Structure 1
Amino acid sequence: MSKVCELCGKGPIVVNSVTRRGKARAAGGVGRKVTGVSKTRQLPNLQRVMVSRGGVGVRLRICTKCMKNAYAA
């Protein structure tokens, strides 16, 4: 089962997770240092929803942004 919205096509993205140590300069320290960068995946918030298409109920996996736009109209 793919992690892609069936209406808009939104899927997972790859982002950097930055690990830092130290105390910020604004708080009286010498500054924050980057100690590591690793890649992580951010997945869309998919929900299973019954949608009527042509009078027939179809179960789709759609993201919450599409749900919000569909029910707002």
Structure 2
Amino acid sequence: MSKFCEMCGKGKAHGGCITRKGLAKKAGGIGMHVVKNVKRTFEANLQNVRINEGGTVKTVKMCVRCIRTGNFTKA
């Protein structure tokens, strides 16, 4: 099974963790400076759910946001 939500298609998102150093301008400093930018991936919160689809029971991966909506019938 892939790492995507079966209902909405949510998957990995790419981003970064920016490290800043210095005193902010409004606190009297010369401003915050970017020291490091670490690339990382944000994984979707996927859970295995057994659903009843057309009279058959199957296991799918769903993100928690889609599980909360309740637009499916649990098996």
Please give the residue correspondences for 1:1-73 in structure 2 after superposition, counting only pairs within 5 Å.
1-70=1-70
Q: Give the paired residue count.
A: 71
Moved more, 33-42 or 1-10: 1-10
Q: Distance in 2 between matches of 1:41 and 1:12?
A: 7
**Unpaired segments of 5 or more residues in structure 1?**
none
Moved more, 13-22 or 62-71: 62-71
Q: TM-score, normalised by structure 1?
A: 0.80
CA-based RMSD of the aligned residues comes to 1.6
AA aligned to 2:32 is: R
AA aligned to 1:47 is: Q
Give the percent of matched residue pairs that are identical in Structure 1 and Structure 2: 38
Q: CA deviation at 1:20?
A: 0.7
Q: CA deviation at 1:38?
A: 2.2
Deviations along 1:3-62, one digit per CA (max 9) or x if unpaired, are 211222111011122111112122232211001222110111101111111222211110
Moved more, 39-48 or 16-25: 16-25
Name the structure with the higher helix share: 1
Q: TM-score, normalised by structure 2?
A: 0.78
